Chain A
């Protein structure tokens, strides 16, 4: 029986894919197979969370990156011919999925925002053109492959009564790529994706010091400060963890306030799930106004102080 495979670089992400994998495997009438990397104990967790079978691959030497598993996974897939392979689209996962797909001469949709089954096919939706459009694709070759970002699904819940098999896959993990150093990033104190209110800094700010204006507004509302990509990556005025967009943070606050944000599609894609979007911009034709519920046409240096006065009056602060 070919099966639906789920592959992720850690156990949390594997559990997320198992919850979706269960649904897909049921609809395709296939067994669900999870992968555990060098950890047989996790295999039992995966079984209680829905896997019919768990392939346990050898542990990695510390000097090898996760992507080193590609040849083993390709070899195993050629033997088992799975119907579908779902990979967690972390950066490593996306590379691994692409190389596995190349090794198997099959199609892969990366960065899927949704996946469902129709007539035996995975129907996969993904954003294209910087987030301006949604492309729906199906894969005409087998295995059909999808890479889905972490955090898309809730983790699967364990059930006592589930039984499954564990298969230890022997083999050498070999690669010419060696890790010579890992430098952990200092953790940002805040997680923008959890913020209820975000005040976003755009290119309309003239100097780095002026960001204090955004901070004051954020403090007044009990929110956080975020920004567009150029502010973080080109000007380095704020840490990279604070930029929102298709390649940055995807946020879902109750209220997003864009200050001097022009509204390029790549940025708007990161804020689409905000409940309310408000924007301040001098250019009345700025694209941000098409993406906003409430827009104020004006200079942020003039509008923000007025806005704060009105908010203080309204909230009796």
Chain B
């Protein structure tokens, strides 16, 4: 029976970020949160493998106490149990810390054959947690995976590289990070959403951890990526369209 752990992150929905005036400061006052995009693919893949092969899926997340909202969402997608590692200090963890915390929690609390992570998070997109976690646990890993096949105690993964597909094999236990192309996550049904509230959640805090996970990076600034653009709007009237063509000619970009 395959024991699968899927890791996910609760992140700011980047579509809600506003920029306050000319200062380039980010206005995060009205943002909603979501399960990081590719982590939804990771959860879906874990659940699909379980449906095929039997076994179990545990979802694990590390974050501030407010990330508690994510548990119901994650559990409604199919995992039967969640592990929530939270602390007020965990609101801006860097990949090195998240991976090290996950490694300690997994080693002490969970059995596994396979760990699935998203290829990168939709907020920081550092793409580090998966491979760092594998390294900390001393297990083989495959990144950028878009197909997983399990045969006995062997994992075969198709990695989607820029120049083509690389098929790799490795013994379990192993870790993979998945691409968004690996599947299309299902929308949870009402029954699943209601059922999620009854599923078990293991709550852990920083006090339950032995390691002190200090940051290695220091963020010195975080500013909106602005673009200088003219932002002139026209109607679909032929005269207006002619003005646009004239402008393009004047810019020297068409000839």
Q: A residues touching B (Cβ–Cβ < 8 Å)? A: 65, 70, 90-92, 94-95, 98-99, 101-103, 105-111, 123, 127-141, 175-185, 197, 221, 233, 246, 254-255, 264-265, 268-269, 272, 275-278, 284, 289-299, 302-303, 306-307, 309-311, 314-315
Contact = CB atoms under 8 A, between A and B. Distances in A.
Interface of B: 12, 14-15, 17, 26, 94-96, 99, 122-128, 130-136, 140-144, 156, 159, 161-171, 174, 180-181, 215-225, 227, 229-236, 238, 240-242, 244-249, 251-255
Contacts of B142: 177
A90 to B, nearest CB: 7
Contact of A101 (B132, B163, B225): B132
A129 B181 contact: no
Contact of B169 (A111, A178, A183): A178
A78 B167 CA distance: 31
A186 B131 CA distance: 29
Given A136-B219, A293-B247, A296-B240, 4 more contacts: A176-B140, A291-B227, A297-B233, A310-B245
A91 B222 contact: no
Contacts of A182: 164-167
B235 to A, nearest CB: 6
B164 A185 contact: yes
6 contacts: A127-B125, A254-B252, A293-B230, A295-B234, A296-B236, A303-B236
DSSP majority for the A interface? mixed
A91 B161 contact: yes
Given A132-B224, A269-B225, A99 B244 contact: no
A126 to B, nearest CB: 8
A92 B159 CA distance: 10
Given A132-B14, A297-B234, A180 B225 contact: no
Contacts of B164: 182-185
Contacts, number: 245
Given A129-B12, A129-B17, A185-B163, A141 B216 contact: yes
B146 to A, nearest CB: 11
Contact of B255 (A65, A107, A132, A315): A315
A296 B234 contact: yes
Nearest to A221: B254
Contacts of B169: 177-178, 180
Nearest to B165: A183
B225 A310 contact: no
- Scoring A108, A134, A294 by chain B CB atoms within 10 A of each residue's CB, the highest score goes to A294
A98 B254 contact: no
A177 B141 contact: yes
B247 to A, nearest CB: 6
Given A136-B219, A197-B253, A293 B224 contact: no
- In the A-B complex, the 4 residue pairs with the smallest Cβ-Cβ separation, listed nearest first, are A298-B236, A107-B216, A102-B135, A102-B132
Given A132-B14, A180-B156, A306 B128 contact: no
Nearest to B220: A136
Contact of A111 (B125, B231, B235, B240): B125
Nearest to B255: A315
Contact of B167 (A181, A295, A296, A309): A181
A64 B233 CA distance: 54
Contacts of A185: 162-165
Contact of B245 (A135, A137, A175, A311): A311
B248 A294 contact: yes
- Scoring B122, B215, B233 by chain A CB atoms within 10 A of each residue's CB, the highest score goes to B233
A140 B225 contact: no
A307 B245 contact: yes
Given A139-B217, A178-B170, A101 B127 contact: no
Contacts of A65: 166, 168
Given A98-B127, A176-B170, A265-B14, A276 B246 contact: no
A107 B94 contact: yes
A138 B225 CA distance: 19
Contacts of A105: 96, 216
Contact of A255 (B26, B216, B254): B254
- Scoring A269, A275, A293, A295 by chain B CB atoms within 10 A of each residue's CB, the highest score goes to A293
Given A233-B181, A289-B233, A311-B254, A136 B122 contact: no
- Scoring B180, B229, B246, B247 by chain A CB atoms within 10 A of each residue's CB, the highest score goes to B229
